[in-house]
Amino acid sequence: MSGIETAEYLYELWDANWDDGPLGNYQILAHPITRKTAKRIYFTYSTGGHRAGFVDRQKIEAAGEIYHGYSMRRLHLAPPEIPHRPQQPSLSELRRAMAAAHPDRGGTDAEFIAARARYEQAKAVAS
């Protein structure tokens, strides 16, 4: 049995809902590497009809990632982490933070006003 080569890829963090705000429905795309030379790494896009592209090998191996200006994509040697939306605090947590920021409990007027605004905004969204 001959030696089986493992497939190598360049990875891209892709937002399927790119127009849905800063954090959307992320996926990791794997673009297969077709050839490596001393100066370049050649690959085919896993999207877009199997077009070919290349990146500077020294730059991507030094940094682990590179911005591919032609396609306007950031490509990585290893799969990048998928960002997660930060969890919004609950109304009870915001109410406790507002109480803790009250001037009678050691907070300042500005801290209390900001905490109350966050609480009121979350309360309006919830109802």
| 16-52 residue pLDDT tens | 766 655 556 788 889 999 999 999 999 988 876 678 8
Quick: pLDDT tens for 53-99. 899 999 999 999 999 887 788 999 999 988 776 678 888 999 999 99
**Residue 14: its pLDDT value, please?**
81
Q: What is the pLDDT of residue 3?
A: 44
**Residue 26's beta-bridge partner residues?**
15
What's the confidence (pLDDT) of residue 19?
61
pLDDT attached to residue 20: 56
One-letter amino acid of 16 = A
Residue 7 CA, chain-centre distance (Å), reads: 25
Domain boundaries of the chain, sorted by first residue: 9-76, 91-126
Q: CB-hemisphere CA count at 13 Å for 109?
A: 0
Instruction: Give the CA distances from residue 18 to residues 27, 28, 81, 84, in Å, rounded to whole numbers and listed in that order.
Output: 11, 14, 17, 15
